[in-house]
Amino acid sequence: MVIFVDMDEVIADTYGAHIEIYNKQFSENLTLELCNGNEVWRMVPPERQQSVRDHARNRGFFRNLKPIKNAQVVLRKLNEKHEVYIASAAMQFPNSLEEKSDWLDEHLSFIPWQNRILCGHKHILLGDVLIDDRSYNLEKFDGRTLLFTSPHNIRTTGFERANNWLEVADKLL
């Protein structure tokens, strides 16, 4: 089975990093719980929204993301049983490309370069499963889709959902 796995908010904690950077910069106390159901940048005052949206353009942002809980251990097992590819819509942020490659070298070194994809549209991927936090990626994928739960998508309906990596293991191992 060929399985494609998104990076941001599925294996790398982008959302948490946005909150951490925002809280530090503005001495605030935003939390994941407060953000539930929303994009993080919508949860800050209008005059600070662009600052949050620009985090992703800062050098180092993607390189320093924390892995999502249990992603590494479950992906290692998935990779023994299936053909696993990491597929990130990273081309939007050219500064992220090498950082994402380095991040994978550090945190998921068992996924070789041949199985890493930095792309835009994901409907050009040919395989069996796509795990992603964005419904617009899942909608057009020709295969089984798993919506990985992230604060911004908790109100999204109509997709098979994995709330965490242990649930992914239950479904695919």
Query: Which residues would be at the binding site for a second copy (CB under 8 A)?
Result: 2, 4, 85, 89, 91-92, 94-95, 97-98, 101-102, 112-121, 123-127, 142
The least CB distance from residue 89 to a second copy, in Å, is 8
Active site residue 6: yes
6, 13, 132, 133: which one is catalytic? 6
- Give the span between the Cα atoms of 79 and 86, in whole angstroms: 11
The answer to whether 159 and 145 are in contact (CB under 8 A) is yes
Please identify, using beta-carbon distances, which residue of 80 and 142 lies nearer to a second copy.
142
> Which is the catalytic residue, given 8, 13, 132, 133?
8
DSSP string spanning 46-111?
A: HHHHHHHHTGGGSTTTTTTPPBPTTHHHHHHHHHHHSEEEEEE-GGG-TTHHHHHHHHHHHH-TTS
* Neighbour-count burial of 4, counting CB atoms closer than 10 A to its CB (0-12 exposed, 13-18 middle, 19+ buried): buried
What is the closest distance, in whole angstroms, from the C-beta atom of residue 93 to a second copy in the complex? 9
Q: In the annotation, is 105 catalytic?
A: no
Nearer Cβ to a second copy (28/83): 83
Tell me whether residue 43 or residue 87 sits nearer to a second copy (CB atom): 87
CB of 44 to a second copy, least distance (A): 26
C-alpha count within 13 angstroms, C-beta hemisphere, residue 144: 12
> 160: buried, middle or exposed (CB in 10 Å: 19+, 13-18, 0-12)?
exposed
Q: Which is nearer to a second copy, 32 or 126 (CB)?
A: 126
Q: Give least dist CB 90 to a second copy, A.
A: 8
Q: Which residues form the catalytic set?
A: 6, 8
